[in-house]
């Protein structure tokens, strides 16, 4: 977003800049600021002269033609006006920041030079005055030949150029407070400009408007001493407007249309890749730029108060087409994007100190960079952001039909430093994927994400940077620091079609997981309903043949799992574990354990064994309800083995009985033999239950393994059929 209300703000001159020539006469362009002005109210010409003098102090170069002042109308007219600002930032690290200050080689540092200029055939200022360091103008306008040029270069790396032409640029009822900059200090070259930054953002005006901005962009890379163009492009902005600004609070920003064409060089092939982008009406309403000041200003305390940075924003008719090389092109279209309630909460950060130190030649520690990035991210929250009417198309050379994906809507809600409410996709359709595949989705969401606390996360970041092997040696500690405390997902109406494999579909799937003792989940729920997979999609001929014998050409199943630990009662419940498949049957399981201590979740490796010893077994139940798999499976296997079905049933019955031999309990063995025989003879349901009269310590169960014949009575084991 270009704030043409204050174009002089782009490049202040810090003290470390190389010496530069200063030719300052006027600054009619910039509705900017300058110290050292008169404290009493002044006339237009006096205010303008003081304004120009202040610009000299800021390091700007300004050249004018004629300056005419009409006292009757209180109008200043400046012809052939130009403004410049340039400098050099020396001794910047050439290869980034590795945090190893002791080994840093100053000879590898480089310099960044920059140059900004603004020129106009005529600048007209009406009603300019200054009163007690407040500068005001009823109208400030530029002729349609106004140009803005920006260039930057890094020694030995490359350079960037931007040239813009502005038409219809003007400001109405513009006023701002003149800042008092601190004295220059070698180690405060970024932070000393904070007052200037505040003045820019806290300016007041009825409107700042630029009817048309046309811009050209160029970038060059220095490759072994040869300059090569790597990017060129054009940008046009129509109908730029900022309105209703009072002390940093802005009622409205809008842009009628944006178009952009960029050509970049593919480093692999050397060919030019083109990107064309356009966007229709863009509107932001009720903005508060004071939040950006609070973000950077270390003197603004952390109060926990929430500030709305942008109440609402929207844009329509976005379109982009990008060459990817080798004849591949990707195109995007978005009907509408919107955002509601972007808010800010002050978090402690050292961003300005980092900038000061970098400019002074000190390399910041990686942990400081990462921590500050986290803190800046944690400062912002979004109540709702969404896009609708998304179309994606990928064209490839030699492929007749483009791959297409359409998304009815995507949304992101309640995003903050605490977590993410929901990330949602609605109405996804991809009928033309490569190799004849297709996909559709009615609805999917990932949400209820509660982030881990920041303090342990911050400490772990420092630990991992100091000792990169710590994560491999202590994976549980790392997970505990970073893993979200809760997360969930839901999927409805998913279908995937693959040639020669058929259609795989999910009617509905959901999962919810949370923990009071992260990273081990203490509450888990999952349910899948109506999952359908063609048998041939399994790619296993033997399994496919078995399913075919059962009369199953498509696997259709549902399952459900519910597990939770109650910290108050210390009871661990596997409340429900079910699996149901058409043509096979339904399996159910449940179990309860008491006196399960928190230490089991906190340190399963170190305290798990001891924790399990004090836990108690309460009850458990396993049940299977047949839906044809027993009769059909017996017949298929018996036929395959060339034996009568009744003989095969008897063999299975005896095999089940033999499996109980290690328990050494004849009554239990006979109970199992009887139940299995009855079930195989007349398939219905079979149940295994363990329900002791009172909870049994797990330590006692483990001890009973020395005399296993006592276990069936100890646990009151029952096996029943039908």
Alpha-carbon span 165 to 149, nearest angstrom: 9
pLDDT attached to residue 10: 31
pLDDT attached to residue 269: 77
Burial degree of 76 (CB within 10 A; 0-12, 13-18, 19+): buried
| Token representation of residue 470 | 């710590």
pLDDT attached to residue 15: 33
% of the chain surpassing 90 pLDDT: 63
pLDDT attached to residue 117: 95
Contacts of 639 (CB under 8 A, 6+ apart): none
Question: Tens digit of pLDDT for each residue in 392-424?
Answer: 999 988 888 889 999 999 999 999 999 999 999
Q: Tell me the mean pLDDT in the region 274-303.
A: 93
Distances (CA, A) of 470 to 165, 211, 465, 467, 478: 55, 57, 9, 6, 8
Low-confidence winner among 101-110, 221-230, 360-369 (lowest mean pLDDT): 101-110
Distances (CA, A) of 409 to 342, 386, 442, 597, 710: 20, 7, 11, 45, 62
Alpha-carbon span 253 to 282, nearest angstrom: 8
For residues 248 and 287, the answer to whether their CB atoms sit within 8 Å is no
Question: Tens digit of pLDDT for each residue in 610-664?
Answer: 887 899 999 999 999 999 999 988 998 898 889 999 999 999 999 999 999 999 9
Q: Which residues are bridge partners to 234 per DSSP? A: 216, 261
Q: Is the pLDDT of residue 13 over 70?
A: no
- 3-state helix/strand/coil string of 576-632: EEEEEECCCEEEEEEEEEECCCCHHHHCCCCCHHHHHHHCEEEEEEEEEEECCHHHH
When comparing pLDDT for 154 and 134, which is higher?
154
Q: Tell me the mean pLDDT in the region 301-311.
A: 92
Q: Is the pLDDT of residue 40 over 70?
A: no
Distances (CA, A) of 698 to 564, 704, 717: 19, 10, 16
Question: Tens digit of pLDDT for each residue in 319-353?
Answer: 999 999 888 999 999 999 999 999 999 998 888 88
User: Residues of 27-59 as b/e, b for ≥16 C-beta within 10 angstroms?
Assistant: bbbbbbbbbebeeeebebbbbbbbbbebbbebb
pLDDT attached to residue 661: 94
Q: Is the pLDDT of residue 391 over 70?
A: yes
pLDDT attached to residue 95: 57
Burial degree of 633 (CB within 10 A; 0-12, 13-18, 19+): middle
pLDDT band at residue 109 using 50, 70 and 90 as cut-offs? confident
**Sequential DSSP letters for 7-55:** GGGG----TTSPP----BS--TT-----SS--SS---HHHHHHHHHHHH
Q: Tell me the mean pLDDT in the region 258-278.
A: 90
Q: Tell me the mean pLDDT in the region 604-614.
A: 82
Q: Tell me the mean pLDDT in the region 221-231.
A: 88
Low-confidence winner among 54-68, 92-106, 566-580, 687-701 (lowest mean pLDDT): 92-106
pLDDT attached to residue 50: 78
419 alpha carbon, distance to own chain's centre: 11
When comparing pLDDT for 92 and 556, which is higher?
556
pLDDT attached to residue 198: 87
Helix (H) or strand (E) holding 463: helix 454-466
When comparing pLDDT for 155 and 217, which is higher?
217
Radius of gyration (C-alpha) of the chain in whole angstroms: 36
| Token representation of residue 306 | 């929430």
Q: Is the pLDDT of residue 22 over 80?
A: no
Q: Is the pLDDT of residue 4 over 60?
A: no
Q: Is the pLDDT of residue 580 over 80?
A: yes
Q: Is the pLDDT of residue 689 over 90?
A: yes
Question: Tens digit of pLDDT for each residue in 465-502?
Answer: 999 999 999 999 999 999 999 999 999 999 999 988 88
Helix (H, G, I), strand (E, B) or coil at 483: coil
**Sequential DSSP letters for 180-221:** -PPPP-TT-TTGGGHHHHHHHHT-BEEEEEEEEEEEEEEEEE
pLDDT band at residue 6 using 50, 70 and 90 as cut-offs? very low
pLDDT band at residue 524 using 50, 70 and 90 as cut-offs? very high
For residues 447 and 421, the answer to whether their CB atoms sit within 8 Å is yes
Q: Is the pLDDT of residue 96 over 70?
A: no
Cis peptide before 519 (omega within 30 of 0): yes
Mean pLDDT of the chain: 87
pLDDT attached to residue 25: 30
Contacts of 540 (CB under 8 A, 6+ apart): none
Q: Tell me the mean pLDDT in the region 675-693.
A: 96
Report field, pTM of the whole predicted structure over 0.85: no
Alpha-carbon span 194 to 239, nearest angstrom: 30
């Amino acid at each position: 977003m270009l704030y043409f209300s204050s174009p002089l703000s782009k490049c202040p001159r810090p003290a470390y800049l190389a010496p530069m020539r200063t030719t300052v006469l006027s600054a009619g362009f910039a509705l900017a600021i300058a110290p050292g002005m008169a404290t009493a109210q002044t006339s237009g010409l006096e205010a303008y002269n003081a304004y120009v003098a202040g610009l000299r102090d800021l390091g700007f170069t300004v050249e004018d033609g004629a300056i005419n002042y009409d006292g009757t109308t209180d109008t200043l007219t400046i012809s052939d006006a130009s403004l410049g600002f340039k400098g050099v930032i020396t001794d910047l690290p050439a290869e980034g920041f590795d945090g190893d200050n002791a080994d840093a080689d100053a000879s590898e540092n480089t310099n960044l030079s920059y140059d900004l200029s603004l020129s106009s055939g005529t600048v007209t200022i009406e009603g300019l005055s200054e009163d007690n360091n407040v500068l005001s103008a009823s109208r400030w306008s530029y002729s349609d030949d106004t140009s803005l040029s920006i260039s930057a270069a890094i020694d030995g790396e490359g350079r960037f150029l931007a040239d813009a032409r502005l038409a219809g640029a003007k400001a109405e009822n513009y006023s701002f407070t003149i800042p008092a900059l601190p004295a220059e200090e070698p180690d405060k070259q970024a932070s000393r400009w904070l007052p200037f930054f505040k003045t820019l953002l806290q300016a007041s005006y009825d409107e700042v408007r630029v009817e048309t901005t046309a811009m050209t962009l160029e970038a060059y890379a220095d490759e072994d001493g040869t300059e090569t163009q790597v990017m060129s492009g054009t940008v046009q902005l129509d109908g730029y407007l900022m309105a209703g600004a009072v002390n940093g609070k802005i009622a409205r920003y809008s842009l009628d249309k944006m178009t952009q064409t960029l050509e970049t060089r593919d480093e692999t092939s050397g060919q030019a890749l083109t990107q064309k982008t356009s966007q229709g009406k863009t509107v932001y309403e009720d903005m508060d730029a004071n939040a950006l000041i609070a973000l950077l200003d270390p003197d603004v305390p952390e109060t926990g108060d929430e500030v709305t940075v942008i109440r609402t924003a929207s844009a329509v008719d976005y379109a982009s087409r990008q060459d990817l090389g080798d004849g591949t092109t990707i195109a995007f279209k978005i009907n509408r994007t919107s955002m509601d309630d972007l808010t800010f909460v002050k978090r402690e950060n050292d961003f300005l100190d980092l900038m000061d130190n970098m400019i002074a030649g000190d390399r910041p520690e990686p942990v400081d960079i990462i921590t500050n990035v986290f803190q800046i991210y944690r400062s912002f929250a979004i109540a709702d952001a969404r896009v609708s009417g998304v179309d994606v198309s990928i064209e490839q050379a030699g492929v007749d039909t483009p791959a297409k994906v359409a998304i009815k809507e995507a949304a992101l809600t309640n995003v903050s430093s605490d977590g993410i409410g929901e990330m949602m996709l609605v109405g996804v359709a991809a009928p033309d994927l490569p190799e004849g595949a297709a996909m559709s989705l009615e609805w999917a969401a990932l949400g209820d994400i509660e982030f881990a606390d920041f303090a342990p996360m911050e400490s772990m970041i420092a630990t991992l940077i100091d000792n990169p092997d710590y994560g491999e040696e202590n994976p549980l500690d790392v997970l505990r620091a970073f893993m979200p405390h809760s997360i969930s997902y839901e999927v409805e109406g998913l279908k995937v079609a693959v040639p020669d494999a058929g259609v795989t579909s999910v009617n509905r799937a959901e999962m919810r997981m949370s923990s009071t003792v992260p990273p081990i989940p203490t509450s888990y729920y999952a349910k899948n309903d109506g999952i359908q997979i063609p048998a041939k999609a399994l790619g296993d001929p033997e399994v496919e043949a078995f399913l075919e014998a059962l009369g199953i050409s498509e696997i259709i199943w549902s399952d459900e799992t519910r597990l939770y630990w109650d910290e108050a009662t210390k009871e661990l419940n596997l409340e429900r574990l079910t699996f149901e498949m058409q043509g096979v049957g339904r399996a159910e399981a449940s179990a309860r354990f008491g006196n399960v201590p928190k230490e089991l979740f906190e340190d399963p490796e170190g305290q798990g064994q001891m924790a399990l010893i004090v836990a108690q077994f309460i009850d458990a139940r396993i049940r299977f309800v047949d839906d044809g798999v027993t009769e059909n499976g017996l017949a298929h296997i018996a036929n395959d083995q060339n034996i009568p079905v009744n003989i095969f049933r008897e063999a299975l019955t005896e095999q089940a009985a033999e499996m109980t031999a290690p328990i050494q309990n004849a009554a239990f063995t006979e109970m199992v033999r009887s139940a299995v025989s009855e079930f195989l003879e007349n398939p219905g349901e079979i149940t295994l239950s363990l329900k002791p009269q009172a909870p049994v310590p797990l330590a006692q169960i483990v001890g009973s393994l020395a005399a296993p014949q006592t276990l069936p009575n100890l646990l009151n084991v029952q096996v029943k059929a039908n």
